[in-house]
Amino acid sequence: MARKLLLEHINVPGINTLEVYRQQGGYRAVEKALKTLTPDEVVEEVKKSGLRGRGGAGFPTGMKWSFLAKPEGVERYLVCNADESEPGTFKDRYLMTYIPHALIEGMIVASFALGAKTSYIYVRGEMMPQIRILEKAIAEAKNAGFLGKNILGTGYDLELYVQPGGGAYICGEETALIESLEGKRGNPRIKPPFPAIAGLYNCPTVVNNVESIAAIVPIINDGGDEYAKVGIGRSTGTKLISAGGNLNKPGVYEIELGLPVEEFIYSDEYCGGIANGKRLKAVVAGGSSVPILPANLILKTLNGESRLMSYESLADGGFATGTMMGSGGFIAFDEDQCIVRNTWNFTRFYHHESCGQCSPCREGTGWMEKVLHRLEYGHGKLSDMDLLVDVSKKIEGNTICPLGDAAAWPVASAIRHFRDEFEWHVTNPQEAVQRNYGLAHYADPLPPVGEPA
Amino acid sequence: MLSVTNTEEVIFSPELVTKFKEIVSRYPEGKQKSALLPVLHLVQAEFGWVSAPAMDKVAQYLDIRPIEVYEVATFYTMFFLKPQGKYVLEVCRTGPCCLVGAEKIMKHIEQKLGVKEGQVTNDNLFSWRGVECLAACGFGPVLQIGPEYTFYENLTESKVDELIDNLKLTTAAKPVDQIS
Amino acid sequence: MSDLIKVTIDGITVDVAPGTSILNAARQIGGEIVPPAMCYYSKLEGSGGKCRTCLVKVSKGSEKDPRPMPKLVASCRTGVMDGMEVQNITSPEVVEARKGVVEMLLINHPLDCPVCDQAGECHLQDLGYEHGLSSTRYEFERRTFDRIDIGDKIQLHMTRCILCYRCVFTADQITNQRVHGVLGRGDAAEISTYIEKAIDNDFSGNVIDVCPVGALTDKTFRFKNRVWFTKPVDAHRDCPTCSGKVTLWYKGEDVIRVTARKDQFGEVEEFICNTCRFDQKKTSDWVIEGPRAISNQSVISSNHYDTLKPLPVIKTNLQLQQSNKDQFERATKL
């Protein structure tokens, strides 16, 4: 069994209550940090751990914390980003549902490290059950003296609140989240200034993902160096992977970074292979925004090496033959799935979720959706694929926030790897509405390097 | 734009106002606008949707301009700007759920309820709509029902039938004045 | 001054005050290297960054940190650094991106210039001429909205809107009760009052002037004339609410429109009140200063001041006669 740092006690009955959580060693990190460490020492441990943001961008958390401006007499805020809405990702919901105290413990330690006196957990509005769970857990923690005034007699005060969202994917972008928390429309802000200088209420603010915050707990308990030993290279620690799609055992798995993708999909410890005895066609490895890869490229890199679940290995080959770790939303497609339909579905999502500020994203996502809809329903043209790639390029990189990129990448990568399937939709329009394009060669092993493909 | 014919003033119950006050206390002095989303959720839970008069009243409570409330309420998809059925079935329609049959479930709900997406059944009990990813991709297809946002996972057609029938029964058992 | 910093845009170096945006530095240089701006408005705090037409490439970050910026940046909201080097029209990447943005802005635009009052002074029209394609690649139905009146003097034609948010910022900044805003989201977003409410404020008419397209138009000027057939004349009056400095637009003997004075970047010099804009439409209400200087590039300039059939207002004003003569000579020489 691989090491579990976050979900070690997930199967202990009653782990969602403070009592059981403490019996399993919970809130040790709070005691250790508040009583024996200075805020700077906590930041130092996190830096040493090499923890990278688990929300998608993979930016080192310790570094992000050290950028926080600390002007005298100005409040600082820590905001937890629990606006989990990336298609394919559901790890934060899982964590908050079953071990809410892991998040709260992490929030206390992180707030202490950053010198925040008030912290917010911004949970997406649809997760009302999780909001209730968190509010209950916060009340428990407050009763036990882990929150409120003079925590554990150390003189440190902290108030923790849960803020519901209202149904907007874009609020997962940190500046949009801050706007939303201020009671405004979730329009991302133009950076600079970065939130570390002027964020919530114009005060220095750090926004971290749920899993990043929860990972602070084992880092403080065991030390940053110990945490850094888990994992591979610059991908340290463990990561929650949300496995969905056509798998035998979909669900949330905690993996040590560096696990081979093949093992993750097929071993019984994890996903247990493809459902219904079908074959794997394609994988979206990090949530809908990252490039889709055909089966052969997700299992092995272009050099024939086994692809691992790590930031570096998944990105191996750049966008030509690689993808990204993203938020860890692992979606597997079996041989019966239609890539064109799925791409259209994802694009509809981005079209629906675009905030409408920047013209390329506002207009371009709708345009791509319409073209993809036409292709899926057999009215497409052969020139549509080039048009889509061109439109996606016009959006990519030209917008305020990364939603533009996130909308462009799935389209560009689907056409890059599955162009013949798109073309088949154009050349066989009648058939395309009745059945899906087969597996073709997407599961075949890659030809040896050096030989023409 | 909406032409408002009904300009009746909305009255918030004292319980609701107490909750508003608690929410406003979570934010620094003068930042009461932050309470807008949680307050709108409470209003929707109470009235089933957010009407223009209700939004005006919220603006008054939070000491902001009505347009600021309209801007926010129309941006976020969770707020209903017109009356809905008592139970709104929100089915996830995004990629991963579609891989495991969300589209079939939506078709089935449409047939079972006999109304199209966004419409309300004649008895004012149900409406349904497709929503974007609900972050439960491993347990799809999924649907949620507000205002509690209870989750129903791993849906099949028979599970949906059972759910809808159960909801009808619970409602029938309640006195008429509590229905919608 | 020693605290000025150097920035080079398309090979031209200029000294500017710290904190200046790239766009404003370019405006100090002037000419063709000024990036177009559809949403940024120097008089409106917080505007800009949205339309993406002003994207430029920063090929050198600063003297201290010469690394180029990884993505194209919105020049209106990016501050200059000492030693920064920027490429605008000299970068094929920028030109390509701008072409893309213009295409995006136009796919849902009705292109109803022949019946639009803004035609001739429309920034989107200018942008389309400069960067647009001759035909569209968009083959779907365009987004449409119903026209609505916000107040009896202003009409909102949402179909033409490019969501620059300028009018919202204007209402926020120069009036104390904003009643209109951006509703909805994504490409369904619209400028609206949500419930039918007239915008009732002394300065509300300025939203017409800041609108870069024909989405907000003056109902008192609606379908009266094409702007290039009208003759702009600077004038002022003693106004208790605003500066009273305006441009009158003449057709024959009549003042058919009053606007604020706009500078070379299409921005108003000073906001004017609704009384000046909508209610003072007689020559006798105003003190005439002289013809409004209009860029030679503008279609409005095609209509020079005819010395053979001068406006009645010119006949009686020596100063106007002189300027008119000068302008006519310049125009005929060209």
Identify the three-state secondary structure at position A281.
strand
Does the CB of A353 have a partner CB in chain B at under 8 Å? yes
Res C249: pLDDT: 92
Name the nearest CA neighbour of A251 among B117, B26, B139: B139
Q: What domains does chain C contain, in order, with CATH numbers? A: 5-91 (3.10.20.740), 139-218 (3.30.70.20), 227-333 (no CATH)
User: In angstroms, rounded to a whole number, what is the distance separating the alpha carbons of residues B120 and B124?
Assistant: 6
Mean pLDDT (chain C) is: 87
Asked if residue B71 and residue B91 are part of one domain, the reply reads no
Could you read off the pLDDT of C276-285 as tens digits, one per residue? 999 999 999 9
Please say whether the beta carbons of A82 and A96 come within 8 A: yes
What is d(CA B126, CA A200) in angstroms, rounded to the nearest whole number?
39
Q: Give the closest of C181, C183, C196 to B3, CB-based.
A: C196
Residues B122 and B87: beta-carbon distance below 8 Å: no
pLDDT at position C292, please? 85
Domain ranges of chain A: 18-229, 239-334, 339-434
Question: Could you give the 3-state DSSP secondary structure of residue C206?
Answer: helix
In a domain, B31, yes or no: yes
C217, C220, C224, C225 alpha-carbon torsion, rounded to 10°: -50
The set of chains that have 3 or more CB pairs under 8 A with B is A, C
- Please tell me the predicted confidence (pLDDT) of residue B168: 86
Domain end, chosen from B75, B109, B127, is at B75
The CATH number of the domain holding residue B105 is 3.40.30.10
**Smallest Cβ distance to B1: which of C179, C185, C193?**
C193
User: How far is Cα A365 from Cα A388, in angstroms, rounded to an integer?
Assistant: 10
Fold for A18-229, please state it.
Rossmann fold (3.40.50)
Query: Which top CATH class is A239-334?
Result: alpha beta
**Which residue in A448, A436, A428, A90 sits closest to A281, CA to CA?**
A436
Q: What is the pLDDT of residue B174?
A: 47
CB C179 to CB B65 under 8 A? yes
Say what the pLDDT of residue C229 is: 85
- Which residues of chain B lie closer than 8 angstroms to A184, CB-CB? 33, 68, 71-72
Residue with the bigger pLDDT between A416 and C315: it is: A416
Residue of C nearest to A384 (CA): C137
Q: Report the DSSP beta bridge partners of residue C154.
A: C218
CB contact under 8 A, A183 and B34: yes
Q: Which of A191, A163, A158 is nearest to A177 (CA)?
A: A163
pLDDT tens-digit series, residues B105-142:
999 999 999 999 989 998 888 999 999 988 888 888 99
Contacts 24+ apart (CB under 8 A), B155-161: B155/B105, B157/B104, B157/B105, B157/B108, B160/B105, B160/B108, B160/B109, B160/B112, B161/B112
* Helix (H) or strand (E) segment spanning residue A243: strand A238-245
Residue B9 forms part of a structural domain? no
Distance CA A116, CA A144 (A): 20
Buried b (16+ CB within 10 A) or exposed e, A356-366: bbbbbbbbbbb
Amino acid B99: pLDDT: 87
Taking each helix axis as running N to C, give the angle between helix C92-107 and helix A384-395, from 0 to 180 degrees, rounded to the nearest 10.
110
CA distance A221 to chain B (A): 30
Position C92, amino acid: P
Residue C180 has pLDDT above 90, yes or no: no
Question: Considering only CB atoms, which chain A residues are within 8 Å of C185?
Answer: 168, 185, 354-356
Does residue C303 surpass a pLDDT of 60? no
Provide, rounded to the nearest whole percent, the portion of chain C with pLDDT above 90. 51
Domain check: are B103 and B142 in the same one? Answer: yes
Full 3-state SS string of A78-127? EEEEECCCCCCCCHHHHHHHHCHHHHHHHHHHHHHHHCCCEEEEEECCCC
Cα separation, B6 vs B13, whole angstroms: 20
Contacts of A398 in chain C (CB under 8 A): 52, 55, 71-72, 97, 100-101
Arithmetic mean of pLDDT, C97-102: 92
- CATH at residue B37: 1.10.10.1590
The answer to whether the CB atoms of A180 and B139 lie below 8 A apart is no
Compute the nearest-CA separation of A371 from chain C (Å): 9
Distance in Å, alpha carbon of A448 to nearest chain C alpha carbon: 34
Q: Identify the pLDDT of residue A451.
A: 54
pLDDT tens-place values along chain A, 453 residues long: 578 889 989 999 999 999 999 999 999 999 999 999 999 999 999 999 999 999 888 899 999 999 999 998 899 999 999 999 899 999 999 999 999 999 999 999 999 999 999 999 999 999 999 999 999 999 999 999 999 999 999 999 999 999 999 999 999 999 999 999 999 999 999 988 899 999 999 999 999 999 999 999 999 999 999 999 999 988 999 999 999 999 999 999 999 999 999 999 999 999 999 999 999 999 999 999 999 999 999 999 988 899 999 999 999 988 889 999 999 999 999 988 999 999 999 999 999 999 999 999 999 999 999 999 999 998 999 999 999 999 999 999 899 999 999 999 999 999 999 999 999 999 999 888 888 887 777 777 766 666 554
Whole-prediction pTM: 0.92
Check whether B98 is labelled as a binding-site residue: no
Q: Closest Cα to residue C260, out of C199, C201, C206?
A: C206
Q: Cα A12 to the chain's mean position, in Å?
A: 26
pLDDT of B172 strictly over 60: no
Residue B81 lies in a domain: no
* Concatenated DSSP letters of C45-83: TT--SSS-TTEEEEEE--SS--PPPSS-EEGGG-B--TT
- Is the complex ipTM more than 0.85? yes
Asked whether the beta carbons of residue B67 and residue C184 sit closer than 8 angstroms, the reply is no
Question: What is the b/e burial string over A267-301, where b = at least 16 CB atoms within 10 angstroms of the residue's CB?
Answer: eeebbebbbeebebbbbbbbbbbbbbbbbbbbbbb
Residues C19-40, mean pLDDT to the nearest whole number: 92
Which pLDDT score is estimated for B175? 42
User: Which residue, chain included where needed, has tokens 């509010």?
Assistant: A135
Do C100 and A360 lie within an 8 Å CB cutoff? yes
Q: Which of A367, A379, A368, A387 is nearest to A432 (CA)?
A: A379
Torsion of Cα atoms, A380 then A381 then A382 then A384, to 10°: -80
Range of the domain at B169: 87-178
Distance from CA of C279 to the nearest CA of B (A): 28
- Residue C240 neighbours by CB under 8 Å, 6+ apart: none
Last residue of a domain, which of B54, B75, B96? B75
CB C162 to CB A359 under 8 A? yes
Q: Do B4 and C195 touch (CB under 8 A)?
A: yes
> A325: how many CB neighbours lie within 10 A of its CB?
25
Residue B140 near residue A244, CB atoms below 8 Å: yes
Q: How far is CA C148 from the centre of its chain?
A: 22
Other Cβ atoms closer than 10 A to B22: 11
Whether residues B101 and B167 fall in one domain? yes
Mark yes or no for CB contact B139/A250 under 8 Å.
yes
Is residue C304 pLDDT above 60, yes or no? Answer: no
B69: in domain: yes
Locate A321 and state its tokens.
Answer: 């033959």
Best interface-test mutation with A: which of C52, C94, C172, C191 has the largest number of A CBs within 10 A?
C52
**Is residue B2 one of the residues assigned to a domain?**
no
Fold type of domain A339-434: de novo design (two linked rop proteins) (1.20.1440)
Q: List the single residue in C177, C194, C196 with the smallest CB-CB distance to B70.
A: C194
Say if residue B60 is in the same domain as residue B110.
no
Total of domains in chain B: 2
CB < 8 Å to A352, chain C: 186
- 3-state class (DSSP) for residue A241: strand
Residue B8: inside a domain: no
Query: Do residues B98 and B160 share a domain?
Result: yes
